[in-house]
Amino acid sequence: MPKKYVTLSISIFIALLTTLEVVGQNTEKKKKGFIPRYINSIINDTVAQKKSQFFIYPIAGYRPETGVEFGVCPLYVYYAKEDVENRLSEMNAYAFFTLNGQYGLRLNHALYSDQDKWFFLGDLDFEQFPLKYYGIGNDVPKDNIALVNATQIRIKERVLRRVLDNFYIGLETDFRSLTNVTFEDFDEDISEENFDYPFGADGSTNFGLGLGLVYDERHNVLNTRDAFFSEFAYLNYNPFWNSNVEYQLITTDNRFFKKINERDVFAAQVLGEFNFGGDVPFNQLSYMGGSNIMRGYFKGRFRDRNQIATQIEYRFLPLKLGFTDRIGATVFTSVGEVFDDWNEIEMKNLKWAAGAGARFLLFQQKDIFLRFDYAFTRDGSNFYISIGEAF
């Protein structure tokens, strides 16, 4: 994101917080109507810890691929049977549209049943949205060589049953569809006639089915303070689907969280994704970048059959400011690489990213923060806004 938009976003956010704090204080004295009561419940967190909470906020932003973008973000959190001994369940979404007629919807959830016996973890993404395409491999141009315009759908779901303390096992599914695909806005040095189209450029629809093993000590997935999480998943794509594309995917995701004191948290993550057994459509290759890991890189900046990435983060939740206990901060860094073969990995060529962020304690009773991260890389920088920590 260009610097002027980062500055504008931060300025708008500070002004919004100031306004909401004043409105919240005023509505304590004048609780008239639904909207003042709603604002007061958010700013002053008047909802008891065991009660469910719903929050919705608008977002306006800018991305080079879309231009001006408008969106709305709902969040719903609750404890099963209003028992705070259960783990905190969350559902959140992001719906957006742009002045260029592009749109999308993203939903994700982490739901626990009573006594945490069942765990439902999943994501749904639907986008009609141009994707920057840089090529495949760990040594591709800094500037994208084309834009991919397509309709993308991904539905990933895990249905897991606790079999031992903190240990879950169950079914994992992953549906992916890329349709109405066109490559456009080619680099001036590449003509459409000699462009090397990747496998899957005509579109693809695949379904993966497999096994998931999860060890999960987290009590609050949006802000974990002292726990260990590990997921191992095996997915076989198209075992029952009428398609000539068949391959397998192994994913391992390991996260460590340690409380340094009552406020500060050290967090670390190691992620591995490994595709094998057949040709993989370009949109389903392991990719680097986005708002969760390797922040600072555009989503899909690097892509290949495999990826290894790790990140560490130190969180001040919240800062010791004296006048408020709702402002936090974080610093983070990450390294990673995509590759086709293990011998391609070289320490000197590893990709890196680093950055810092601000936090606003949205729900005091449930320890949930609004996240603002600014990350930079060799390529440049990006700015992210969302609810909950990156991992």
Q: Within its chain, how far is the Cα of 143 from the centroid? A: 24
Among candidate residues 364, 369, 388, the one with its CA nearest the CA of residue 46: 364
Q: How far is CA 86 from CA 66, 109, 219, in A?
A: 41, 16, 8
Residue that terminates a domain, selected from 10, 27, 44: 44
Looking at the structure, tell me whether residues 326 and 234 fall in a common domain. yes
Please name which of 213, 150, 223 lies closest in space to residue 181, comparing C-alpha atoms: 150
Q: What are phi and psi of 17, to 5 degrees?
A: -60, -45
Q: What is the mean pLDDT of residues 300-312?
A: 97
Q: What is the mean pLDDT of residues 200-227?
A: 95
Task: Give the pLDDT confidence of 179-194 residue by residue, as tens digits.
Answer: 999 999 898 888 777 8
Mean pLDDT along residues 273-285:
95
Query: 31-45, 285-299, 358-372 — which is least confidently predicted?
Result: 31-45
Same domain, 130 and 254: yes
Do 89 and 10 share a structural domain? no
Same domain for 28 and 101, yes or no, is no
pLDDT for position 385: 84
Rounded mean pLDDT, 247-262? 97
Confidence class for position 57, pLDDT limits 50, 70, 90:
confident
Angle at 383 between CA 350 and CA 140, to 5 degrees: 35
Shared domain for 69 and 213, answered yes or no, is yes
| Residue 42: predicted pLDDT | 64
Q: Tell me the per-residue pLDDT of 104-114, one tens digit each, with 9 for 90 and over.
A: 999 999 999 99
In this prediction the pTM is: 0.85
Q: How far apart are CA 157 and CA 342, in angstroms?
A: 29
Residues 110 and 196 in one domain: yes
What is the DSSP annotation of 46-108? -S-TTS-EEEEEEEEEEETTTEEEEEEEEEEEEEGGG-TTSPEEEEEEEEEEETTS-EEEEEE
| 55 and 38 together in one domain | no
Q: CATH number for the domain including 343?
A: 2.40.160.50
**Best-predicted range by mean pLDDT (5-9, 114-118, 188-192, 296-300):** 114-118
Range of the domain at 107: 45-387
Q: How many domains does the chain have?
A: 2
The answer on pLDDT for 22 being more than 50 is no
pLDDT for the residue 221: 95
Q: What is the pLDDT of residue 12?
A: 46
Distance CA 90, CA 107 (A): 11
- In 3D, which of 115, 111, 47 has the Cα closest to residue 81? 115
Q: Say whether both 265 and 371 belong to one domain.
A: yes
Instruction: Report pLDDT for 6.
Output: 44
Q: How many helices (H) and strands (E) does the chain have?
A: 2, 19
- Between 328 and 68, name the one with better pLDDT: 328
Q: Let me know whether 79 and 25 are in one domain.
A: no
Average per-residue pLDDT for the chain: 88
- Cβ 301 vs Cβ 337: under 8 Å: no
Q: Report the pLDDT value the prediction gives residue 65, as an integer from 0 to 100.
A: 53
Same domain flag for 167 and 201: yes
- Assess contact for 388 and 368: CB atoms under 8 A: yes
d(CA 55, CA 369): 12
DSSP 167-217: EEEEEEEEEEEEEEEEEES--TTS-STT--PPTTTT-EEEEEEEEEEEEE-
Range in 49-63, 312-326, 335-349 with the lowest mean pLDDT: 49-63
74 pLDDT above the threshold of 70: yes
Decide: helix, strand or coil at residue 7.
helix
Residues 6 or more apart in contact with residue 360 via CB below 8 angstroms: 17, 326, 327, 328, 369, 370, 372
Q: How far apart are CA 49 and CA 44, in angstroms?
A: 13
- What average pLDDT does range 308-326 have in this prediction? 95
Asked if residue 102 and residue 15 are part of one domain, the reply reads no
Average pLDDT of span 313-337: 95
Phi then psi for residue 250, to 5 deg, are: -115, 130
Same domain, 7 and 107: no
The reported pLDDT for the residue numbered 43 is: 67
